[in-house]
Amino acid sequence: MKKILFIFLLLIGILSSALAQQSPHFTQYMFNDFVINPAVAGTNDYYQIRSNHRFQWIGITDPPLTNTLSIYGPHGKLPMGFGGYFYNDVTGPTSRTGLTGSYAYNIEINSDMRLSGGLSFGLMQYKLDGTQVNPKDLTDLAIQPVVNSSYIPDAAVGFYLYAKDFYAGFSANQLLNNKLRIYDVKSGLNKLKSHFYLTGGYKYEIDRDFTVEPSVIIKVTSPKAFQFDLTARVIYREMFWGGLSFRMKDAVSILLGYNYDDRFSFGYAYDMGVNGLRKFNSGSHELMIGYRFNDIK
């Protein structure tokens, strides 16, 4: 059974474009949406650091492990923002590591609403460690017992409409559609496909203490793969929050979080699978840590 699961995870890594989602996904996407939409840079009047750490499918041998670290914020005088993020996504002997920089410019729609547009460019390393694989098990894939890497440039574009109580964003990632070349395996499955994200959220104040925030993210991968997350959080005095999330054909999630002194943020999510893989794992864990710097006047 372990051998079968290992081969299954390896195929996910090598032929990831055959799946609905190539890019890493997070249950707590609403706390670090800059990673999927460069237009978010500069939409707040302070710089912040955010990290997300996802431990997926606990109990399976060599499960996916994803880490991101981002920093972004506004220009001191002009209506624009800057930022960058680093990510590392590991599944068994395969990994994706990237560094991306972003620029955004926003304009005033009216006294309560602004629109931001952003661009990002980056470089990704895709690596396959053949020393972790027995080539006799996967002769058709011609895996060699060496470490092989492919470096690929990439780009993204996004738009973000926001006000005090709501936001809506659209972004397109992996625009260059580059091909991965690992061991000269020639297949249409090793092409990076464009990802499109549509996000939205609204904050409704019930009273002075409680706020309800429903949000959604719709993910479309070219040409026709589709997935969405629906999330609802209840926030108490801008300090504590709890919520539930549903990811189409994948998982139901519980979210908990704490905001200390409007400076440090901590979030946790636990995913319970609803697909066939739930028989082989005990769920997924995700941790978010954030720090907010002083306001830029």
For residue 42, is pLDDT > 50? yes
With a pLDDT cut of 70, the percent of the chain lying above it is 83
The separation between the first and the last C-alpha atoms of the chain, rounded to the nearest angstrom, is 59
Q: What average pLDDT does this structure show over 134-161?
A: 75
Whether the Cβ atoms of residue 232 and residue 241 lie closer than 8 Å to each other: no
Whether the Cβ atoms of residue 173 and residue 36 lie closer than 8 Å to each other: yes
More confident residue, 189 or 126: 126
CA 288 – CA 275 distance, rounded (Å): 25
Please tell me the predicted confidence (pLDDT) of residue 16.
40
Q: In the predicted model, what is the mean pLDDT of the chain?
A: 85
Please tell me the predicted confidence (pLDDT) of residue 255.
97
For residue 80, is pLDDT > 50? yes
CA 39 – CA 156 distance, rounded (Å): 10
More confident residue, 128 or 202: 202
- Please name the residues in contact with 291: beta carbons below 8 A apart, sequence gap of 6 or more: 48, 49, 263, 264, 265
Please tell me the predicted confidence (pLDDT) of residue 3.
46
How does DSSP assign 249-277, residue by residue?
TTEEEEEEEEEETTTEEEEEEEEEE-SGG
Please tell me the predicted confidence (pLDDT) of residue 188.
47
Q: What average pLDDT does this structure show over 226-232?
A: 94
Is the pTM higher than 0.95? The answer reads no
For residue 133, is pLDDT > 70? no
Provide the pLDDT confidence category of residue 278 given band limits of 50, 70 and 90: confident
The region of weakest confidence among 112-121, 174-183, 200-209, 263-272 is 174-183
Please tell me the predicted confidence (pLDDT) of residue 135.
56
Overall CATH class of domain 2-292: mainly beta
Domain ranges across the chain: 2-292
